[in-house]
Structure formats: structure tokens, C-alpha cells
Amino acid sequence: MANAILFPGQGSQFIGMGKKLAETLPVAREVFEEVDEALNESLSSIIWNGDVDELTLTKNAQPSIMAVSMAVFRALISRGLNLDKISVLAGHSLGEYSAFCASGVFSLTDTAKILRKRGLSMQKAVPLGEGAMAAILGLTAGKVSELLKQGGFDLKKVQIANDNDPSQVVISGEKGSVERFSKFLKDNGARKTIALPVSAPFHSHLMSPAAIEMGTTLEEIEFSNPKIPIVLNVNLQILGTKEGALQSLINQVTGTVRWRESLIIMNENNNVDNFYEIGPGKVLSGTVKRTLKDVKTFSACELEDIDKMIEVINV
């Protein structure tokens, strides 16, 4: 039996997340204070009392979700979590940065600054309205990939952005191509296609300008070896040292988030059968349940969840 911690990505945010935890535990409050200082603004005010549209802006959502995840992670440690019980970490898209921070590859201050730059660079890479993303329900990533070729679609204009689980794939790219491919998929077996309310076509080739900017940003950051191994989104390698980490994060901007395969690797290669999602929401726990059999999932964002989780992990 082994344990993995999962960190959520963009879309899990909500107003008020982490507020009660920060009011209760100084160690959690200090995370938000450090992120505010790193960004030279009160991001915590937006998270706890702001407008949801402002929080949802990519430049705010990315560091906000990371801050909540790290507040929960540090709360777990302060309440007695035995990190020796954790075999591996993984994060979905921006959640990978939370995993890097939790494992000590980046400092919290650097992670906040990187994610603010990541959000801004992704937002400006494609003019508003020119890109799109859509969730495809009822088809596997393999089938979607097959239909991409069958329909003769330009892979530079539309591609698989997220392989989330056996029943959910997200496509991304140029707006017209995404719309045409969505219709083609619906006509060829997809149960449902859902246009996503996003401001940019994340994890597509159109994000190449953002990948270049992220390369420049990350080259200025000090990397350390991870204290806990991390399964990487794009190449599925298990990061045991800092070698290869920089290029993987650059590739992640335009590459497919291979989340379903990451879960399988953790289960089969690392013998993980307990998956702990920490941070806002329970999206990743759902993907685990739809991907793997005979495993357990736990989610924690508030103090009562944290204490229950520690009891289970430390057994």
C-alpha cells in the first residue's frame, strides 16, 4: 500500500477557499502572506472576498489555487503528517507547480512569481476570442486521436490538451477548428461536447509564445532536487532529481496533460492505492475513480478534512 498526493489545476477555484483554514492556523495564514508579498498585492483579498470573475482571470487563478494547496499541505505537516508515508506527488497542469513547491524544487515565493508570469504569458499568447477549448465526454483519448487523423484536422490548430480519464478528454486550439472538431466528434460517438469558458487555448501549439516566455522565466529560478518524487504531466517521467525539470515545465505549456496515464503509472509502478487530493475542489478524485479500480480517494481543503486525512495516512 502506498500514498500519493495530488494537486488540482485551474477551474477548481472558488471565492472563500482557504479562508477558514488561514483564520484557524497561523502556518496556513503565513502561506497567503508570503504569496501576497511575492506578488506585491493582496491576492488573498481577491481569493476570500473578491469577485469571482477577477479570481477566475488566469493571472489570479493560477497562484491562488497554488496558495490554497500549499496552505493545506503545510497545515498537514504542522498537524503531524509523516511525509515518509508519501511515495509520490503529481499535479494537474498548474498543479504540477504546487507539487514542485511541496517537494522543495521551488520556494513558495518563486512559485507564486512563476505562476503569475505563466498566467500573464498564456493570456497574451493568443488574442481573446481566437482560441477555444472543449470537453469531450464519452470518448477515450485514443479514439479522439484517431478521429483527429481520420477527419484530416490540422494538429497545429487543434489538439488534445488534457487526457483526464477514460471518459473525458479536453481539446484545445484555434476557435473555428475546435468547434468543427467538436461537431465531428459528436457525429462520431461523443456523448457530449462542452465549450469551456476559458480565456485562452491552454496546452495547444498556439501557446508557443508563452512557452518561450516561460523558458526565460524558469532559467532565472533556482531549482532543487525534489524531496518526494513527482510524476510529470507531459513525458510521464518520475522526477527524482532536478535534471529535466525545466524543459518539462516548458513543454507542458504546449503539450498534452497526460493525467490518466499519470494515475496509472502511480498505481502500477509505485503501487499507489490511496490518492489524497489537497487544495480546492474534488475534481481530481473524480478522475481517479473513473480511471482506477480498487483504490481510495480523499480530499482536503478545510481543517476537519486535514485531521481525518492525517489519521488515515499515518496509520
Q: Which residues are designated catalytic?
A: 93, 203
Q: How far is CA 172 from the centre of its chain?
A: 16
> In this structure, what DSSP letter does residue 23 have?
H
> In this structure, what DSSP letter does residue 87 have?
E
Listed in sequence order, the DSSP H helices in the chain are: 19-24, 26-39, 43-49, 52-56, 58-78, 95-102, 108-125, 141-150, 175-187, 208-219, 245-254, 259-269, 283-291, 303-313
Q: Rounded to 5 degrees, what are φ and ψ at 282?
A: -135, 25
DSSP 48-82: HHS-HHHHHSHHHHHHHHHHHHHHHHHHHHHTT--
The arrangement of strands across the sheet holding 2-7 comes to 238-239, 230-231, 86-91, 2-7, 272-278, 296-300
Paired residues of 173 in beta bridges: 132, 158
Q: Rounded to 5 degrees, what are φ and ψ at 157?
A: -110, -20
Closest CA to 253 of 117, 107, 135: 117
